[in-house]
Structure 1
Amino acid sequence: MKKQHLTIVARILVKEEHRESVKAELMKLLDVTRAEEGNISYDLHQDNENPNLFLFHERWVNQEYLQKHSQSAHFVQFQKATEGKLEDFTVHKMTEIEN
């Protein structure tokens, strides 16, 4: 039986005038989050047509590890640093469909 990991797709739309500062804050999350217990993958993408649109594709062992991440010092710092700089931040919690 395949393990049912939690997949997160986070869509972050940044106000254009804050694109570079928010991108820098997003980049700060990469290594520290990848080192977190329970993280399987944590990948950041930038849209090819709209450079203000970023997407995280994340995989976590389970919801409990994601919850710990959302309360981590580095994620709380990211939220403070980007306050008022985002148009939208949408998180989709998903489970892979087995074939």
Structure 2
Amino acid sequence: MEIVIPQTGGPVGIYGFARPKPERAEELERLLLSFVEPTRDEPGSLQYQVHRDAADPSTLVFYELWRSADDLRAHLARPELADFQQRRLEYLREDLEIHWLTPLSATA
């Protein structure tokens, strides 16, 4: 799955779903949570959160808000994220489901 980032003149948001293989669920959760603090420290990161779906606790939900598409591209190029992109199907029972958002309200 190639991530094609829409070009915008301002902030860009993402939310998505990660549905792990049962035997890899805890490992995937730890891995996604390990990305949180370093990502929040990146230039252009406005929000980065990982959630558990209340209706389906086996599904992890992520939400990201970036100052620009270029900031998000830089984030995805980081070695640990590039590695995860290459190996993601080792953890997932189906590929990531990603939805793009164009923020309409102020980000701060």
TM-score bin, normalised by smaller chain: 0.7 to 0.9
Look up the equivalent residue of 1:16 and give its one-letter code: P
Cα distance in 1 for partners of 2:66, 2:13 equals 6
**4+ residue segments displaced more than 6 Å:** none
Aligned residue pairs, count: 96
So what's the TM-score if we normalise by structure 2? 0.78
1:95 counterpart residue number: 102
2:3 counterpart residue number: none
* Aligned-residue RMSD, C-alpha: 1.9
So what's the TM-score if we normalise by structure 1? 0.84
Post-superposition Cα deviations, 1:62-92, rounded to whole Å, max 9, x if no partner, equal 1001011111022123335544221230221
Look up the equivalent residue of 1:93 and give its one-letter code: W
Alignment equivalent of 1:29, drawn from 32, 35, 42? 35
Higher strand share: 1
Look up the equivalent residue of 1:91 and give its one-letter code: I
What SS is found at the alignment partner of 2:85?
A: helix
Cα distance in 2 for partners of 1:95, 1:70 equals 18
Q: Which runs of 5+ in 1 are unaligned?
A: none
Task: Pick which of 64-73 and 44-53 moved more.
Answer: 44-53
Cα distance in 1 for partners of 2:11, 2:85 equals 25
